[in-house]
Amino acid sequence: MTNATGMFSSFSQTNNTERWLLLLAGLFVSVNFIALEIVQSNGFSHWLHLAMWIACAVGGSLALDRLLPERDPLLFPVVMFLAGWGIVLIDRLAPNFADRQSIWLVISVCAMLATIWYEPLLRWMRAYRYVILFGGIILLVSTILLGRNPSGIIGAPELWLGFGNVFFQPSEALKVILVAFLASYLSEQYPAMRAQSQFKLGNDRAWLSPRILGPIILMWGLSIIIVVWQRDLGTAAIFFAVFLILLYVASGQTIILIGGGLLLTLAGFVAYNLFSVVELRVDIWLNPWLEADGRAYQIVQSLMAFASGGIFGEGIGQGSPTYIPVVHSDFIFSALAEEYGLIGVLVLVSAICIFIMRGLRIAVQHQDRPFNALLALGLTMLIAIQCILIMGGVLKLLPLTGVTLPYMSYGGSSLLASFVIVGLLLRLSAEVN
Amino acid sequence: MAFAKEISRLMFGVIVVFIVIIGSASYWAIVGADSILLREDNPRLVEAEASIQRGAIYDRSDNLLVQTRPDENGVLERVYLVPETYSAIGYFSLRYGTSATEFAFDDLLRGDTTLEPLQTVIQQDLLHRPQQGSDIRLTLDLTIQQTIVESMGGYSGAVVVLSVPDGQVLGLVSLPTYNPNTLDADWDTLIEADGNPFFNRALQGQYQPGGMLQTPLMVAGILINQPFDVVTSNATRPLMIDGQQITCATQPDEQDLSYQQSYAFGCPFPFSLLADELSSESISNIIQAFRLDSPTTITGFTFDEQPITPEITPEPIAEETLADYLIGQGDLTINPLGMATIVSAIINGGNAPQPYILDASRSDDGIWQSERPITQQSIPMLTTNASRRLRELMRNNTLIGASTPAARDGLTIGGHTALAISGEGTQTWFIGYVSLGDQRGVAVALVLENTDNAFDAATIGGNILEQATITLQQPTD
């Protein structure tokens, strides 16, 4: 009786918190759609996109109540808030893409619910890691051999697999697969890693053990392959960074982060000298002003967007972020800064931080189940690293890597993968209890 | 607790990284904003400029001359409604900037000074209301402008009309000119065009004075009590300037003329003989008193040249060039606005009013606020007696001399017409006044390029003075 009351109480509290937060997110998204309609009337489409978002939020929340009554109450509202804000911005920046993004949102929420609904998934991911890895490698090879670019521009990176008019970016799925594989592998290897470290305490060469060094070199090589064949600097950086973090957490060896960082620098140096795309991005990162009208136009316009937005922003639909090429995808953060100002940036970063802290909290709560802990950690850090790379990139803190801002940027594959990640985190949060 | 320590460190690291991101965003949004927003390659600058609702421009009778209105695509465009005012108004272009009146009163027209700093923050930074410029009302008169352009026909040149004693610019025309409505499209053609239409001859044109210098010389003669009835033999003989002849504006029947007659017909030879009577220093003093060696400007129109102050000692004219100076073919150049200012001094008892063109401005509240100079500055140029004598001499010119085509029945008009050699061509000057009593009147100065047709110059001058009389005698609201 007491347990039943406790469960009901917890269920009720989760529900209330989540619903209030969703209501707040809904108010924010609705007000922005109304403001956008006032500024640039677009007929029926604004309202259709809002309706689809509301359907996803309400439907998703009700379905979650049935599937996972004791889930984390913040994750779903936060990602719906980000996704809603993203659709508002895409509708403002590139209205032609907003229909697609809204449809992808519906598909993504369904995929999230399917991830949650299929209860054996976590167990399956843990047990069949090599099958998953094999599937991932097939995806990678398929992309290398059959990859296309939806824009059709000759010479553009061919990172998509196409089925008619529908394109999917396998690297998005590969990220989740990689984390699942590593979580499973390291959850078995970590006691040995830590024991070896302790036995060889004081031995400077302890970190050279094949158990530690082998996977690092393997992943480094995989990242280099992605850079060389696919010229996908962003995905390679995310793969390697997330891998280093997982290995660091599993082994408890800080030297891994340092050594991995040095390898990353070395790889960057080699890539700079070998690949023009890397050279270009590093050059315009170091000094974009020399070619402000040329190769560095995108980053310079991005910085101008931040400057133009100031503290309060220009207001939705009232700035000029469309001077930034591909603003609705890689540079949506810059557009947000121009139209919502520094206040908008603070809100966005706060929402992302809440997501990351909740994800890491789930990891901490699963310490008695290493696979779950490492999976939660890896998935969370996937989102965190991706956010840091693109936010740092558009602010000239890092070289541009061409990745999307999770949940906000235009891109169906990215949105789908990001919602699968939140589905897995929600499932893990429910399993805490 | 297998991973607690490492995950805690990660949490800390992630928070630090996001703080750095916020710090960087803050830097670009606040500290470094101006440095990149003011870059010339910032397309937002042009867009911001294009979104400004630039104020309209009216003439003295509230006739609309220029307005900003949205085109069929909703993009604001500047529309110049009256061709006769093109040269006085100038142009506004996002690509090429501003000129003439558009340049002189750019701050008002843009609305840069309309709002208080706090209002600017609220209206523009917070509410993003488009910047609204003030309307301005000029002292120009549309009918006078139309009369000038119509009378000028196909001539190139410049005309300035001033109201006396207040100094209002009633007319300002420079020809050839251009259509500011199609400036962006025509720019490449215009900068190559003959006659340099972008050059505002009325405001900045520096012309060889030729016989126009006879008016200051007559003043010098008055000051030294030079008898004007002394007859010069063969006074109509031409003088050679760089292989070209300069002669009387119109040929009189007589060959032997007094100074007064020579002045009436604009004959240069007798004035070249004044070198024996006048010292170079006294000539320099006269030139400086009339501000002939420093460009006259209209209030609000700024140019780089510094006006000469009374403290500066005039530089003596070299003796060997004195004769050329006296016939207006030396180093000295003058502009139409300066000559109109001299005539206004002749009407106004020797004191020239400072010319101004901005009458009033009107911001959002719809009420015209006066922009006239609070204290009317006047420039002393000659004595009251000398001004009276000159009025008589100029009046006489319209009765017997080259300026007779300027005379109109019932009007007290005085004038002086003369020629000048400039390069390989001749230009014809006319200056004149119409007296409206009580030192009130209208002064006009005009120059026609590449012609020696004194009749046309005086006729145009007369037409303008007649129209100005009608304008100023109309009852005002």
Distances (CA, A) of B303 to A239, B203, B299, B331: 64, 10, 11, 21
* Interior angle at CA A144, CA A142 and CA A150, nearest 5: 90
Chain A / chain B CB contacts < 8 angstroms: 114
Residues B161/B170, Cβ–Cβ less than 8 Å: yes
A342 touches chain B (CB under 8 A): yes
Structure-model confidence comparison of residues A185 and B59, the more confident one = B59
Interface probe for A, chosen from B28, B42, B49 (most Cβ of A below 10 Å), is: B28
Q: Is A244 exposed, middle or buried (0-12, 13-18, 19+ CB in 10 A)?
A: buried
B75 touches chain A (CB under 8 A): no
Distances (CA, A) of B224 to B98, B218, B219, B282: 48, 10, 9, 10
Provide the chain A residues 229-268 that lie in CB contact (below 8 A) with chain B.
245, 248-250, 252
Residues 6+ apart with CB under 8 A from B309: none
Q: For position B365, what pLDDT does the model report? A: 81
Q: What is the 3-state secondary structure (H, E, C) of B330-342?
A: CCCCECHHHHHHH
Mean local confidence (pLDDT), B122-127: 69
Six-digit token string for A359: 């994800």
Q: For position A266, what pLDDT does the model report? A: 85
Q: For position A7, what pLDDT does the model report? A: 45
Give B130-153 pLDDT, tens digit per residue: 788 999 999 999 999 999 999 999
Q: Which of B41-45, B295-299, B339-343 has the highest mean pLDDT?
A: B339-343
What residues does A33 pair with on adjacent strands? none
Distances (CA, A) of B292 to B160, B212, B278: 16, 11, 18
Provide the chain B residues 124-183 that lie in CB contact (below 8 A) with chain A.
125-126, 128
- CA–CA separation, B31 and A253 (whole Å): 40
Six-digit token string for A98: 């907003």
Taking each helix axis as running N to C, give the angle between helix A370-394 and helix A170-199, from 0 to 180 degrees, rounded to the nearest 10. Answer: 120
Contacts of B17 in chain A (CB under 8 A): 388, 392
Q: For position A155, what pLDDT does the model report? A: 65
Structure-model confidence comparison of residues B272 and B179, the more confident one = B179
Q: For position B307, what pLDDT does the model report? A: 39
- Residue in A182, A188, A195, A184 with CA at minimum distance from that of residue A253: A195
Contacts of B21 in chain A (CB under 8 A): 349, 388, 391-392, 395, 397
**SS3 category, B360:** strand
- Residue in A264, A227, A225 with CA at minimum distance from that of residue A242: A264
Contacts of B33 in chain A (CB under 8 A): 306-308, 310
Mean local confidence (pLDDT), B55-76: 92
Helices (H) and strands (E) in chain A — how many of each? 15, 2
- Residue in B435, B432, B431 with CA at minimum distance from that of residue B469: B435
Alpha carbon of residue B380 to chain centroid: 20
ipTM of the complex: 0.91
Q: For position A86, what pLDDT does the model report? A: 97
Question: Considering CB atoms only, which of B5, B44, B126 is closest to A320?
Answer: B44
Interface probe for B, chosen from A197, A287, A308, A371 (most Cβ of B below 10 Å), is: A308
**Residue of chain A minimizing CA distance to B14:** A384
A395 touches chain B (CB under 8 A): yes
Give A339-369 pLDDT, tens digit per residue: 999 999 999 999 999 999 999 999 999 988 9
Indicate the range of A152-166, A278-292, B89-103, B187-201 predicted with least confidence: A152-166
**Residue of chain A minimizing CA distance to B24:** A395
Q: Do A353 and B1 touch (CB under 8 A)?
A: no
B47 touches chain A (CB under 8 A): yes
Mean local confidence (pLDDT), B71-81: 89
Contacts of A374 in chain B (CB under 8 A): 3
Using the predicted structure, report yes or no on whether residue B314 has a pLDDT greater than 50. no
Structure-model confidence comparison of residues A203 and B392, the more confident one = B392
Give B438-471 pLDDT, tens digit per residue: 778 999 999 999 999 999 999 999 999 999 999 9
Residues A215/A272, Cβ–Cβ less than 8 Å: no
Q: What is the CA radius of gyration of chain B?
A: 28
- CA–CA separation, A260 and A241 (whole Å): 8
Q: For position B1, what pLDDT does the model report? A: 55
Q: For position B195, what pLDDT does the model report? A: 84
Q: Residue ranges of chain A with pLDDT lower than 50?
A: 1-8, 199, 201
A389 touches chain B (CB under 8 A): no
- Residue B239 burial (CB count, 10 A): 18
Provide the chain A residues 261-320 that lie in CB contact (below 8 A) with chain B.
292-293, 300-301, 303-304, 306-312, 314-315, 318, 320
Six-digit token string for A407: 């949940």
- Residue in B412, B414, B418, B443 with CA at minimum distance from that of residue B430: B418
Question: Considering CB atoms only, which of A307, A318, A364 is closest to B36?
Answer: A307
Task: Report which residue type is found at B435.
Answer: S
pLDDT band at B432 (very low <50, low <70, confident <90, very high): very high
- CA–CA separation, A276 and A21 (whole Å): 46
Interface probe for B, chosen from A342, A368, A372 (most Cβ of B below 10 Å), is: A342
Long-range contact set of residues A360-363: C-beta below 8 Å, sequence gap at least 24: A360/B7, A360/B10, A360/B11, A360/B14, A361/A72, A362/A72, A362/A425, A362/A428, A362/A429, A362/A432, A363/B3, A363/B7
Q: What is the CA radius of gyration of chain A?
A: 22
pLDDT band at B340 (very low <50, low <70, confident <90, very high): very high
Q: For position A261, what pLDDT does the model report? A: 85
B240 touches chain A (CB under 8 A): no
Task: Report which residue type is found at B31.
Answer: V
Residues 6+ apart with CB under 8 A from B216: B286, B287, B289, B290, B292, B342
- Residue B405 burial (CB count, 10 A): 21
What are the residue ranges of helices labelled H in B306-437? 322-326, 336-347, 384-400
pTM of structure = 0.71
DSSP B55: P
Residues A406/A383, Cβ–Cβ less than 8 Å: yes
Q: For position A8, what pLDDT does the model report? A: 44
- CA–CA separation, B205 and B201 (whole Å): 4
Using the predicted structure, report yes or no on whether residue B392 has a pLDDT greater than 50. yes
Residues B195/B226, Cβ–Cβ less than 8 Å: no
pLDDT exceeding 90 applies to what percent of chain B? 49
pLDDT band at B285 (very low <50, low <70, confident <90, very high): confident
What are the residue ranges of helices labelled H in B198-354? 201-204, 214-223, 259-265, 269-272, 280-289, 322-326, 336-347
- Residue in B293, B303, B217 with CA at minimum distance from that of residue B262: B217
What residues does B58 pair with on adjacent strands? B64, B137
What residues does A166 pair with on adjacent strands? A163
Q: For position A14, what pLDDT does the model report? A: 65
Using the predicted structure, report yes or no on whether residue B275 has a pLDDT greater than 80. no
Site of tokens 């009351």: A5
- Residue in A375, A388, A387 with CA at minimum distance from that of residue A426: A375
pLDDT exceeding 70 applies to what percent of chain B? 92
Q: To the nearest whole angstrom, how far is the Cα of A161 from the nearest Cα of chain B?
A: 33
- CA–CA separation, A129 and A123 (whole Å): 10
Q: For position A32, what pLDDT does the model report? A: 94
Residues B21/A391, Cβ–Cβ less than 8 Å: yes
Six-digit token string for B466: 């007649």
Using the predicted structure, report yes or no on whether residue B232 has a pLDDT greater than 90. no
Q: For position B364, what pLDDT does the model report? A: 80
Q: Which of A106-110, B224-228, B318-322 has the highest mean pLDDT?
A: A106-110
Question: Considering CB atoms only, which of A245, A314, A391 is closest to B21?
Answer: A391
